Amino acid sequence: MRILGPVLLALGGVLTIIGVGSFLLGFFAIVSGSSSSGTSTLFFLALPGMALLGIGGMITQAGYLKEVAQYTALETSPAVTTTVSAIKSALTEDDILCSSCSAPIEPDSKFCSSCGIEITKLQCAKCHAEIEPDDKYCGSCGTTIT
């Protein structure tokens, strides 16, 4: 596949160039008024040339698919790991959650910035037990309230 694909690509490219070139030479000969009869006889080679370009491209792509997949995995793995760890650390912080929409809220807020409900009962981020706004630790699980 790694040899056949590029060979078909090259053959398709040559045939396409010959066919399109022959067509353009014939077209310009007609436009300019000269009547050269043999200039556009090879235009039919463009169609099989384009087909061979497509087939050669697909075969070449299939031949290198494993290497491309391995390269992509190695290149994207650090970015994915960094993103996932950042999301995980953001989700596991000991935030106080709104009892209505579960959005994180500041401990001294009187209203939820997400849903607008008045903060009367707060919940622990870990165990979801009710806590008071001035609590420093959860009474159920002992988590530090920030």
Query: Using one digit for the tens of pLDDT, what is the confidence trace for 73-90?
Result: 888 888 888 888 777 766
pTM of the model: 0.46
| pLDDT in the model for residue 89 | 67
Confidence of residue 43 (pLDDT cuts 50, 70, 90): confident
Instruction: Specify if 85 maps to a domain.
Output: no
Total domains in the chain come to 2
Q: Is residue 14 part of a domain?
A: yes
How many other C-beta atoms lie within 10 A of the C-beta of residue 82?
10
- Domain annotation covers residue 103: yes
Residues 6+ positions from 26 with CB-CB distance below 8 Å = 36, 39, 40, 43
Domain that holds residue 129: 91-146
pLDDT at 107 exceeding the cut of 70: no
Q: Are residues 60 and 106 in the same domain?
A: no
List, edge to edge, every strand of the sheet that includes 130-131.
104-105, 96-98, 122-123, 130-131
